[in-house]
Structure 1
Amino acid sequence: MNEVFLKLPKNTVKELFDRLKEESLKRGMVMYDEKGEPRIVNVRVRPWLITKEQKGFFHMVCLNMKDALQRVANIYYNEPKARQILTLTSREDEWFFEIYSNGNQAQQTVFDRIDANAIFSSSDWKDSFAFIETNSVGVGGVYYIPAAANIVEDIVLPVIRNHVHKVEFVMQDDIRELLFETITEHAQKIERLRANVVLIEDQRCLDGTDEYAFVANYLKGKGLAAFATDPRELTLRKGEVHFRDTPIDIIYRDCSIDELHEMEDQGAKIDVLKEAFKKNQVVSSIAGEFDHKSTLEIFTDEEYGKYFTPAQRRLFKKHVVWTRLIWDRRTKGPDGKKVELSKFIRKHKDDLVIKPNRMYGGEGVVLGRFAKAAEWRKAIEDAFKEGCLHVVQEYAEIKEEKFPVLNEDGRVTIEKNYEVSGFASSDSGIAFLGRCSIEPVVNISRKGGLIPVIMVE
């Protein structure tokens, strides 16, 4: 499809890219830096094309992963040894046991995005991907994914259709619809049929995205009373959560419990959130708290296999990267044999990645094969010195694809980008997210780009 853009007249190309940028700004495709200054999210002009077969396959796989994530809270509750891997602070741990032990937690609901290195244009797409991270608190892209697809549908697809025939392009499942489904189904499970919903995030934080206001408007359009606000704005009246004068049934959260404790340390009253968790009114539920990278150690250590189905164990073995939380210990390596972890990491630099366990945005990630020897040694020393704050993962190749870009003289050139895929699923559908960057650590917050996704039939 890149050839389509290379053959376009210069004036047509410039108009296309100008409109793409203009519509991105108009439709709120914006991120903010630490000073609150906006920048437009770079939407790639050439979309990923996903087939019906690929959609069906990844939907099945991701529902299996979602179910596995929802089981992790039970593992933490029942397995003291697992608490060394799923590292909660003492305050988080206290909250967890107070919430999870109260008898209201049978219906754990996780709204998640699972990231992988999948690429959909290769013939071995079904076998060559690996899941590398899970996200179940503050899932990014709930507004950006459909907004990018809609921009491409309005501006780019008419051009593509003039050159690509005998192919029908259709929109992928809307992730906002999947969230709506998740919220309303959870409301039914806990017998809150009214389903008034509030979306909470730390609104005093200047950097990041501004998606929640757009998502709240979408949910309003679906008939829900929906609000986007700061968790400090919620109150408790006669045991019921309120936002201003509206009683709230479901809280969709961008905040981890640890972040709530930080707010408490600054003087905020967060007891209202604890009560909401106790009544299981929060999505993601307490199980969502375990979106640590070390959760993948639970998946890739056979010791915990009894908690998962045979299909999940097969999935982990084939498609989840070997992961270990870093501290001074012996553990099983990728081949199942016991290794001294520090020696193993030093010896296998080009095959491994070191990441902060609970940070996001690509911060602190060191890819062994791209790092200088001194940088790798320092990453190892820091990780072992800090203890249990980093993971080591088997390197999953971050693949490259070519995308058309506009150069300074207004002509299309082809640029190679590394790319990462993400998947958000519900029972009824799946949404694909594509991100790309000229750097191998791919993240939109690191000035990466967003790849729109279109289905082909």
Structure 2
Amino acid sequence: MTIATIPAISEADVRIERRLCELATCDSASIWEAQDELSSAIAEAGMHFEGRAYPVCLRPLAIDRGLANHLSATAEAVIKLLDVAAELYCYNEDVQDLFPAYKHFRHWITSLPKYRPLVTICRLDGLFGSDGYYKIIETNTEAPGGVIQNGLAAKIWRRIPNPLTHGLSLDVSKQPFAKDPNCFVRELVSAYHAASGSELKTAAVVNFRGRYTNEVDFIINGLKDAGIKAKLLDIGEVKLTYAGLVDKNDECIDLVYNKLDPRDVIDTYDADDYLEACATQRVVSINPWISQCVLSDKAILALLSDDRFSSNFNAEQIQLIARHIPWTRLVRDEVTTDPQRRRIELISYIQKNKTDLVLKPSNATRGEHVLVGRLTCSELWEEHIDRAARHPYVVQEYVAPGELTALHLSSRSIKKMAYGIDCYVFGGRLAGFQSRASLDPVMNVGRSGILLPIAFD
């Protein structure tokens, strides 16, 4: 695969940016009228983010097809890297030491299914680095949001009259999940057949104590529309029997889709039957538990970016890692190498170079406790370095986000915002894109971020 730097901004996006700024000064009412129509249509379609409005912005991010193809090839190649990383975790103790939180149920997560890729559904979150390459800063291989709603939102956005894109020929439908939002459900059905050789008859979305209900209704209804008996279950409602995994009514379950936080499972004994069923393939789990835990943990980027493990990857994969995986390390008192491959004392390096670094809990979600060094006071930075001794953190090189003008929905204002581009991959193939934008340097919909539809120029 030839990998080259590609500009992140298209000519169409420059025109959209200019038009938004012009209308903001002379006719902002027309923008907000169209935005309100879009927001109402999104709400009427039943889309939400954990009960709150699904924050889809009228302003799209327009990218050209060259960039779309580049991102697609990069994302699909990274999924193959994760297969190698999973195998490494199963037998390499140095790799296992990067993921201390999962030590006591390692025997469950190292029982790998035979199918590949291991990661059936994921979203790779990224930014463009100063070197022009797309940088993947999180892997999201557990149960990422937006797998159905973003496709539906793109279709709704396309039909709303939009003063920002008047005269432009933009296409959202080339993305598989925008062309057909049911492609997510079809991938679940296909993955089950690939794993079992049988037709899927029963399925469950599994969560924990009512947390993470986003999109669950769309997933269950999509499965039912495909002729599959589907339901939402709590992880404590299932048990393992001689017949397989069953619910409280002793009805067998063929496939489970995990919509939960693995940290909750780590701290409970209610999940033993469930974990055993997944590990022994008595039920097909999408994604398997090594994806839920290890491959989704931010320390996976420490594995990929550390030269200690590079001999496990081929030359093309090493080039891919060098260009698209930012320098990352598990925070601990050790000697390692910095982004220029110079030997360093890691803790001292983090203390002295906070302007160029980001600290993140290794397995937290939705931007929890993420600190951008250049925006953090020294006292708080030191506090989080100490915290890392008790709660695993990673340190990552800072990748500055791009900036664009967008509609900040909660404040009903037009602002310069940071943005990134995320890639959805289903069954090893690109399914679509999303762009998140935020006033907060940590871009997350749960932190007042917004979603920009991705359109091809």
Q: Is the 8 A contact 1:149 1:171 kept in 2?
A: no
- Cα distance in structure 2, aligned partners of 1:376 and 1:342: 12
CA distance in 1, matches of 2:251, 2:159: 37
Give the CA deviation at 1:187: 1.6
Question: Which digits, 9 at most, give the CA deviation of each residue in 1:91-144, with x for residues without a partner?
Answer: 2223234x34xxx5454521211111149xxxx9x9332111111112121233
Contact 2:403 2:416 in 1 (8 A): yes
The answer to whether 1:278 aligns with 2:289 is no
Aligned-pair CA distance for 1:220: 2.9
- Output aligned runs, 1:374-389, within 5 Å: 374-383=379-388, 385-386=389-390, 389=392
Does residue 57 in structure 1 map to residue 67 in structure 2? no
Match of 1:79 among 92, 95, 101: 92
**Which residue matches 2:207?**
201
Relative distance call for 1:202 and 1:118 in structure 2 (3 A) is farther
Q: Distance in 1 between matches of 2:155 and 2:53?
A: 16
Give 1:399 shift: 1.9
Q: Does 1:211 align with 2:221?
A: no
Q: Give 1:450 deviation, angstroms.
A: 1.2
Match of 2:350 in 1: 345
Task: Quote the residue 2:450 is aligned against.
Answer: 449
Given the alignment, which residue of 106, 116, 121 partners 2:126?
116
Residue 319 of structure 2: aligned partner: 314
Alignment partner of 1:179 is 2:184: yes
* 1:292-322 alpha-carbon deviations (Å, 9 max, x no partner): 1111111111222232232221111011110
Alignment of 1:52-451 (within 5 A): 52-97=65-110, 99-100=111-112, 104-105=113-114, 107=116, 109-110=118-119, 111-118=121-128, 127-157=132-162, 159=163, 163-165=166-168, 170=173, 172-174=175-177, 176-195=181-200, 196-205=202-211, 208-243=212-247, 244=249, 246-255=251-260, 257-264=262-269, 268=270, 270-279=272-281, 281-288=284-291, 289-290=293-294, 291-383=296-388, 385-386=389-390, 389-404=392-407, 414-426=414-426, 427-451=428-452
What is the SS of the residue equivalent to 2:69? helix
Distance 1:405 1:342 in 2: 38
Q: RMSD of the alignment, in Å? A: 2.8
Aligned equivalents of 2:408, 2:447: Cα separation in 1: 18
CA deviations over 1:37-92 (Å, ceiling 9, x no partner): x4313221101123332222211111111111122221111211111113243322
Q: Measure the CA separation in 2 of the matches of 1:106 and 1:260.
A: 24
What's the secondary structure of 1:89's corresponding residue?
A: helix
* 1:350 Cα offset (Å): 0.6
Contact 2:123/2:423 (8 A) holds in 1: yes
In 1: Cα distance, 2:55 partner to 2:267 partner: 32
Preserved contact between residue 357 and residue 390 of structure 1 (Cα < 8 Å)? yes
* Partner amino acid, structure 1, of 2:378: A
Q: Distance in 2 between matches of 1:421 and 1:275?
A: 36
- Which amino acid in structure 1 is aligned with residue 41 of structure 2? E
Q: Could you say which residue in structure 2 is the equivalent of 1:35? A: none
Segments of structure 2 that go 5 or more residues without pairing to the other structure are 1-15
- The match for 2:10 is none
Shift of the alpha carbon at 1:271? 0.5
**Does the aligned pair in 2 maintain the 1:19–1:155 contact within 8 Å?**
yes
Any stretches of 5+ residues in structure 1 without a counterpart? 33-37
Measured after TM superposition, the shift of residue 453 of structure 1 is 1.8
Task: Give the TM-score, by structure 2 length.
Answer: 0.85
Range moving further from structure 2, 249-258 or 346-355: 249-258
Rounded Cα–Cα distance in structure 2 between residues aligned with 1:300 and 1:199: 34
Question: Larger deviation: 15-24 or 132-141?
Answer: 15-24
Against the structure 1 CA distance between its residues 219 and 4, is the aligned structure 2 distance closer, same or farther, given a 3 Å change threshold? farther
Asked if the contact 1:30–1:39 (Cα under 8 Å) also holds between the matched residues in 2, the reply is yes
Number of paired residues?
Answer: 430
- TM-aligned CA deviation for residue 4 of structure 1: 4.1
TM-score (norm 1): 0.85
CA deviations on 1:175-200 (whole Å, 9 max, x unpaired) are 75453343233222322422232221
Q: Contact 1:29–1:40 (CA<8 Å) still a contact in 2? A: yes
Structure with the larger RCO, 1 or 2 (CA within 8 Å, 6+ apart): 1
* 1:30–1:209 CA contact under 8 A, matched in 2: no
Kindly indicate whether the alpha-carbon contact (under 8 Å) linking 2:155 and 2:173 is maintained by their aligned counterparts in 1: no
Question: For residues 9 and 245 of structure 1, what CA distance do their matches in structure 2 show?
Answer: 61
8 A contact 2:278–2:289 mirrored in 1: no
| CA pair 14-445 structure 1, distance change in 2 beyond 3 A | closer
Alignment CA distance shift 1:425-1:345 (3 Å)? same
How many Å separate the matches in 1 of 2:451 and 2:317?
A: 30
- Looking at structure 1, the residues matched to 91 and 242 of structure 2 have their Cα atoms a distance apart, in angstroms, of 33
Which residue identity is paired with 2:140?
N
Deviation string, structure 1 residues 129-172 (Cα, Å, up to 9, x no partner): 21111111121212331232123112245x556x2145555352
Superposed CA offset, 1:401-436 (max 9, x none): 11145898x9xx641111122111134433112111
Distance 1:63 1:440 in 2: 27
Equivalent position SS for 2:173: strand
Indicate the SS of the match to 2:193.
helix
2: CA distance between counterparts of 1:96 and 1:170? 37
Report the CA distance between 1:239 and its aligned residue: 2.7
